[in-house]
Structure 1
Amino acid sequence: MTNSISTRLAVLGSGPAGLTAAIYAARAGLSPIVIQGIQPGGQLTTTTDVENYPGFRDVIQGPWLMEEMQAQAEHVGTKVVWDHISAVDLSRRPFRLTGDSGVQYFADTLVIATGAQARWLGLPSEEHLKNKGVSACATCDGFFFRGKKVAVIGGGNTAVEEALYLTNHSHDVTLIHRRDSLRAEKILQDRLFANEKIDVIWDSEVVEFVGSGDPEALVGLDIRNKRTGEISRVEAEGAFVAIGHKPATELFAGQIELDEDGYIRIEAGTTKTSVPGVFACGDVMDKIYRQAVTAAGTGCMAALDAEKYLAAQEFEALAAE
């Protein structure tokens, strides 16, 4: 591999947002490079059944969907490389990205699609039962628990919103919170307390996700009351950990404008960041929807925004001659 690679457009991240950006950029003749990062394919590669991505009547597998997206991107002219970017310099043009491989990438434009990761409790049983009843996205997976008992762990806006959403599928939703009051906005709390399908367990933390059966699946949660130390079990076939997300923006701190939660700020109605020529799409800038289809949509927007930026730059250069 050469020590340096130059491109008109580099895409950081290979989830739905990054690969969609690459597809549109390649079709526009920009010959983009996608740098996959440490989790090629993004969060969908850790998701088994996908039922809500448009265009598929039957349930599809997350990893398969990402393989198809990558194949499409490569088919139309995208170069996909496996590398992890450890440093970026957005202070000069072309932008400089340094990979762990030692390769320097120079890009006229940059699309940041590094995504965000759900925060988990960190329990071994949680990891063991992921995709077997334990999830971090009610909108993605709530449909699979129609008519079943479910639990939500958390006390902020996300947790309350997830609990309310789950009442569309379940008649028995339990919210488990480690404090004696919620952090969510009052209007959300009012809606939660008014919903007869939702019970709240206060001052309690999950100590174990309990699985059973063959194939094994979640059957309950063991929780500890933080005041009394008493351990009890909550029956549930679905458990949704809703304690927030962490956007992958550490690389860009101090170089690009971030919001108070670490998400990249963008100009309203666009994917433009505070640095001209740098665009952001997907979960790294979207703290509200966080769906594969919305990520793909913003990936399309980022590619179109980048294409317009490059065209304007070229026009200015010709006019200056």
Structure 2
Amino acid sequence: MDTNNEHVHCLIIGSGPAGYTAAIYAARANLKPVLYQGIQPGGQLTITTEVENYPGYPDGVQGPEMMVEFEQQAKRMGTDIRYGLATEVDFSVRPFKVQVDEEKWLEADAVIMATGASAQWLGLESEQRLNGFGVSACAVCDGFFFKGKEVCIIGGGDTAAEEALYLSKICSKVHMFVRRDELRASKIMQERVLNASNIKMYWNTEVDEILGDDKVEAVRVKNNKTGEKQEIAVSAYFVAIGHRPNSDLLKGWVDMDESGYVKTIPGSTKTNIEGVFVAGDLQDKIYRQAVTAAGSGCMAALDAERYLSMLEHLKHSNNSLQENNQQIKTGS
């Protein structure tokens, strides 16, 4: 296998808060990290407008601006940041092999995967056009901007129920659209949603279109039983039909749960393959916040540093042992 003769000590795949934080810590530890940014440099925060809940930004910050600052800090520490997409891995050999852009193979002593997760959308053109202008896949991130206003949420599972309850505490009214005639959420979550006075349920209801030229102004919904359509004025549209971890690259190599989130050894970022670490939303289906992703990026770099130090120690021990054996053989 052609590796183009490039050997990387610590390879980081992904460039959201997890990837860049791992790079900052790895560079400071002199691991000479190489980071590939992937298909969306900066990750999901590049399609977020205002970020107000990340510590250190008292006046808030634009998501893309924050990711540029993360990148600049990682670069200043000495990270080799490259644009490219990891397309294949081979973790059966050491050093590990990672292919970039379907052509170049690299060898890496340690790999930190931070490819994140992607929100699932209904697929409406207006979802993408108004993304960041009232359309969001994270109520905890963006709900605050619509304090006291009417909003809607799409979904019927636990995530949708949790986010609807969160929104109900800060918004005047939450319109909840559910495709079926019941919620998929757990019983306790169903009870809480159905008992919330300002959450209005719409059963057998699907979103037909989001209305508004440069921001969300209303949604047009359709009853999938009767075909009846209606327009409802809202200031924000939250979709909560699930996230999909970007873990296809790792299938068959590392342990995952039934949804494709990578499993880690509890209390660490270690996978079942020694020397391969994961950080951020790729392994976190519970919190999914920029600050928790950054925290796990720090953990991954520290785990990688300890692993690489152990490798160096073993290498020196083996060399010393070989030298001793050689001396014994030669009688010196």
Question: What is the TM-score when the length of structure 2 is the normalising length?
Answer: 0.93
Q: Distance in 2 between matches of 1:128 and 1:309?
A: 44
* 1:318 is the counterpart of 2:309: no
Q: Distance in 2 between matches of 1:242 and 1:205?
A: 13
Preserved contact between residue 22 and residue 78 of structure 1 (Cα < 8 Å): yes
* 1:222 is the counterpart of 2:223: no
Please list, as runs of the form range in 1=range in 2, the aligned pairs for 1:198-209 lying within 5 A after superposition. Answer: 198-209=199-210
C-alpha deviation, 1:101, in angstroms:
6.2
Preserved contact between residue 36 and residue 80 of structure 1 (Cα < 8 Å): yes
Preserved contact between residue 87 and residue 102 of structure 2 (Cα < 8 Å): no
Please list, as runs of the form range in 1=range in 2, the aligned pairs for 1:88-237 lying within 5 A after superposition. Answer: 88-100=89-101, 102-212=103-213, 216-237=214-235
- Give the corresponding residue for 2:43: 42
Q: Which has the larger radius of gyration?
A: 2
Letter aligned with residue 155 of structure 1: G
Q: Distance in 1 between matches of 2:190 and 2:278?
A: 32
1:303 pairs with one of 285, 301, 307:
301
Question: What is the TM-score when the length of structure 1 is the normalising length?
Answer: 0.96
- Give the corresponding residue for 1:77: 78
Letter aligned with residue 297 of structure 2: G
Q: How many equivalent pairs are there?
A: 317
C-alpha deviation, 1:99, in angstroms:
1.1
Preserved contact between residue 3 and residue 102 of structure 1 (Cα < 8 Å): no
Instruction: Calculate the aligned-residue CA RMSD, in Å.
Output: 1.2
Identity value in percent: 51
Instruction: Kindly provide the CA deviation profile for residues 218-275 of structure 1, in whole angstroms up to 9, marking residues without a partner as x.
Output: 1111111011000011221011000000111101101111111000000111101111
Preserved contact between residue 88 and residue 102 of structure 2 (Cα < 8 Å): no
Unaligned runs of 5+ in 1: none
Q: Distance in 2 between matches of 1:4 and 1:313?
A: 21
Letter aligned with residue 143 of structure 1: F
- Give the corresponding residue for 2:327: none
Letter aligned with residue 301 of structure 2: A
Q: Distance in 2 between matches of 1:41 and 1:270?
A: 24
- Give the corresponding residue for 1:60: 61
Which runs of structure 1 show a deviation greater than 2 angstroms over 4 or more consecutive aligned residues? 2-5, 316-321
C-alpha deviation, 1:190, in angstroms:
1.2
Instruction: Kindly provide the CA deviation profile for residues 55-111 of structure 1, in whole angstroms up to 9, marking residues without a partner as x.
Output: 011121111111111111111110011111111001111110111162211110000
- Give the corresponding residue for 1:246: 244
Unaligned runs of 5+ in 2: 322-332
Q: Distance in 1 between matches of 2:49 and 2:149?
A: 20
SS in 1 for 2:169: coil
Higher mean C-alpha displacement, 28-37 vs 189-198: 189-198
